[in-house]
Amino acid sequence: MTAPSIEYSQVAPVLIVVGVAVAGVLVEAFAPRKSRYATQVTLSLAGLVAAFAAVVLLARDLHGVGQSAVVGAVAVDAPALFLQGTILLIGVLGVLLIAERRTPAEFEDSSATLDAFTPDASTVPGSVAEKIAIKAALVQTEVFPLTMFAVAGMMLFPAANDLLTMFVALEVFSLPLYLMCGLARRRRLLSQESALKYFLLGAFSSAFFLYGIALLYGYAGTLSLPGIARAIDVNTDNSALALVGAALVAVGVLFKVGAVPFHSWIPDVYQGAPTPITAFMAAATKVAAFGAMLRIFYVALPGLNHEWRPVLWAVAILTMVVGTITAVTQTDVKRMLAYSAVAHAGFILTGVIAANPPGLSATLFYLFAYGFSTLGAFAVVSVVRDATGAEETDMSRWAGLGRRYPLVGVVFSLFLLAFAGIPLTSGFVSKFAVFKAAGQGGAIPLVVVGVIASAIAAYFYVRVIVLMFFTDPPQDAPEVVTPSSLSVATITVTAAITFALGALPQPLLDLVDHAARFLD
């Protein structure tokens, strides 16, 4: 038996993040409690920056369309490196948001804090043990190695060049997210309920994904994505098994992106999870899952595009319509943003459906732009608090918030306008790019539906802006609590990127054009 050849330099970014995650586990096991927080934050940020530097070096040395590594299991090509770099940048800002632990003096409740995580996740909500942990001011630090494991899985997911590696990556980033969704400091039962729903539905979707892998392997005799494509090209008259397998695999990735009808977990999980985890998950998971979807449909299944495109047409239309209409009826800010995320999954699907190089580059641009905008929007939500220090997400309570806190109102409005696709924001360029690519791919009716859905979506985004700036505040209105420099940096950077990509998008457009070629 010949030992496999592993090109460690080619998979260095993922290995760095995995190494940091393992080191974080050791810190939790052996480091004194008082030093864990500073150690974990420093270790996580240093690891993510080092991994990003490794991605940049690999991209610099990339020749042609890239190469495969680890016996063909991992593709080191331009789309994979672009998506990995995006996930790492989102990961850096996500860790800054997760690391927020400030305790402002203005809260009436002396135990209130901007720390979004329960001090002891193993205790029963409301129990004496939990109250003792809160009184002792214990700080939850296990979340940092969990985040690193999630980032590592997300990086591997869109770079996987065979279905087995893709499934392993899916589970590596899903399991930490299931856990972190149940770690909220307040509304513990709602948080645990959201984690349980996410876990159960995620397990079902993983089963569909794995069954689809088995059927595709039975059809092609290989798990390699290029190998499956070659088998489809050879067996053009007998593709029923491949179609069923592709449909089941699609269920798994459509669940992760939150497309209709696999979206039911999105609003409950986004609302119940700690807001920093919601922000990180909403941004990074979408990048990783759409990256894997692009690789599946563009590398493994291009020979079946006449069969899978009509199905994705229906899914995209349903996703845009259901997400947009349902968002209009929401009265909770986090749930409104959750259904907005569903609608955006439909918009991004139009780029996937284009099935051409412009569609690939437009989807990559959209994922980059949307990731930072949604991270920033949830970061703003995390600093709006009532007198006891709890997050205030009731939309009616946000009345007059922009008049009382103009800077926060303007920044949140920028993110909302980007989601609506208003010019001079990243959202406008993103939607224009995917709609143009879809039109070039012959999906004109889909573009029409997307434009109408965008017009309807503008209503509920503008409604929040009107509420913040042109409505009188209620009694005992919530306050915007000044966070530490960690959250301020996250909000500032995401707002700057959102505006910059709307005003000067060409550098990133050029980058995604060069990145829009998969390893054959």
The structure's pTM equals 0.94
Is position 504 within any domain? Answer: yes
3-state secondary structure of 261: coil
Is position 520 within any domain? Answer: no
Rounded to whole angstroms, how far apart are CA atoms 513 and 367? 14
**Residues linked to residue 385 through DSSP beta bridges, in sequence order:** 391, 479
Range of the domain at 97: 12-515
Retrieve residue 257's tokens. Answer: 């992106």
Residue owning tokens 């690519």: 437
The confidence score (pLDDT) of residue 51 equals 96
The confidence score (pLDDT) of residue 520 equals 64
Is position 4 within any domain? Answer: no
The confidence score (pLDDT) of residue 107 equals 66
Which tens digit of pLDDT belongs to each residue from 258-306? 998 998 899 999 999 999 999 999 999 999 999 999 999 999 888 888 8
Is position 505 within any domain? Answer: yes
The confidence score (pLDDT) of residue 133 equals 75
Is position 3 within any domain? Answer: no
Q: What percent of the chain lies above the pLDDT cut of 70?
A: 97
Number of domains composing the chain: 1
The confidence score (pLDDT) of residue 56 equals 93
Using the 8-state DSSP alphabet, how is residue 124 labeled? Answer: P
**Residues linked to residue 132 through DSSP beta bridges, in sequence order:** none
The confidence score (pLDDT) of residue 350 equals 93
The confidence score (pLDDT) of residue 305 equals 85
For the chain, counts of helices (H) and of strands (E):
20, 4
Give backbone dihedrals phi and psi of 70, rounded to 5 degrees, phi first. Answer: 55, 60
3-state secondary structure of 501: helix
The confidence score (pLDDT) of residue 419 equals 93
Is position 348 within any domain? Answer: yes
Residue 417 · residue 495 · CB < 8 Å? no
Is position 7 within any domain? Answer: no
Is position 393 within any domain? Answer: yes
Give backbone dihedrals phi and psi of 329, rounded to 5 degrees, phi first. Answer: -90, 0
Rounded to whole angstroms, how far apart are CA atoms 354 and 361? 11
Those residues of the chain that have pLDDT short of 70 are 1, 63-64, 105-112, 137, 520
